[in-house]
């Protein structure tokens, strides 16, 4: 039987834990020999979406491009793992409707926790007004209404969150 692909779409605020969990899930899947590809928002922006900014229109374009690539992978039996803030609900819903096996994973932590982590120092810059349109501070984040998985990263460890995702894939028959 052909391996079923999927799109694991990790959405959430900056520093919520998307990259960390995406890498953990990728590692877990690779260990079990599942073909996997990681599409990280920051890296995508330096290649596929170079030149795009952070207006709503550009953010939506960025998300659609990532979705397009992820779907090529998914329909060819690869588990595509996407880590991207992807703040707007409508375009995420659009992808859910138009792609193969789209699994929405809300990487959730309160803004105050994300801000205290400030992995890339961006919240501090946003607070000083050095970065405009910063999600959570000066730009909206629209929470998923009905995600397949919610990882609460302020309440569970990285390992627990990674296992939560892998367990979902098991119970749904993807792995
Ligand atoms: P994002 O990709 O969402 O911007 P990162 O993964 O780069 O976030 O950073 C998340 C930070 O939070 C890391 O320093 C990570 O070690 C920490 N962290 C603490 N608990 C968790 C958890 N349960 N899941 C993911 N990250 C966590």
Structure-block tokens of residue 153: 């990263």
> Is the C-beta atom of 169 inside 6 A of ligand 1?
no
Using alpha carbons, list the distances in angstroms from residue 106 to 64, 92, 147.
18, 11, 6
* Interval between CA 119 and ligand 1 midpoint (Å): 8
Nearest CA to ligand 1 atom 17: 17
Nearest to 109 by CA among 9, 16, 1, 35: 16
* pLDDT for residue 97 is more than 90: yes
Q: In a 10 Å sphere around its CB, with 0-12 CB exposed, 13-18 middle and 19+ buried, how is residue 159 labelled?
A: exposed
The ligand 1 atom at the shortest distance from the C-alpha of residue 161 is 23
C-beta of 49 in contact with ligand 1 (< 6 A): no
Going from the Cα of 17 to the center of ligand 1, the distance in angstroms, rounded, reads 3
* 110-122 pLDDT per residue, tens: 999 999 999 999 9
Q: pTM here?
A: 0.98
Query: Which element (helix H / strand E) includes 165?
Result: helix 158-171
Asked if residue 16 belongs to a domain, the reply is: yes
Domain span at 93: 6-171
pLDDT at 2: 75
Q: Which of 14, 15, 49, 86 is catalytic?
A: 86
Q: Alpha helix (H) ranges present in 17-157?
A: 18-31, 41-46, 56-74, 89-98, 111-117, 122-127
In this model, does residue 6 exceed pLDDT 90? Answer: yes
Instruction: Give me the CATH number covering residue 61.
Output: 3.40.50.300
16 CA from centroid of ligand 1 (Å) = 5
Q: Is 38 in the pocket of ligand 1 (CB under 6 A)?
A: no
86 is known as an active-site residue: yes
On whether residue 1 sits in a domain, the answer given is no
Interval 56-88: pLDDT, tens: 999 999 999 999 999 999 999 999 999 999 999
Strand partners, 126: none
Number of domains in the chain: 1
Nearest CA to ligand 1 atom 18: 17
Ligand 1, atom 25, residue with closest C-alpha: 17
Q: In the chain, pLDDT over 90 holds for what percent of residues?
A: 98
């Amino acid at each position: 039987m052909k391996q079923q692909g999927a799109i694991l779409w990790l959405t959430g605020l900056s520093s919520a834990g998307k990259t960390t969990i995406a890498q953990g899930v990728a590692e877990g899947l690779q260990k079990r020999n599942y073909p996997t590809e990681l599409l990280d928002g920051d890296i995508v922006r330096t290649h596929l979406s170079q030149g795009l900014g952070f207006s709503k229109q550009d953010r939506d374009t960025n998300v659609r491009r990532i979705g397009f690539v992820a779907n090529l992978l998914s329909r060819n039996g690869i588990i595509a793992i996407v880590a991207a803030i992807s703040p707007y609900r409508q375009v995420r819903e659009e992808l859910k409707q138009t792609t193969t096996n789209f699994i929405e994973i809300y990487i959730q932590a309160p803004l105050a926790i994300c801000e205290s982590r400030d992995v890339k120092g961006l919240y501090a810059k946003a607070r000083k007004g050095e970065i405009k349109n910063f999600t959570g501070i000066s730009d909206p984040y629209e929470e998923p209404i009905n995600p397949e998985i919610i990882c609460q990263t302020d309440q569970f460890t990285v390992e627990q969150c990674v296992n939560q995702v892998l367990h979902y894939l098991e119970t749904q028959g993807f792995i």
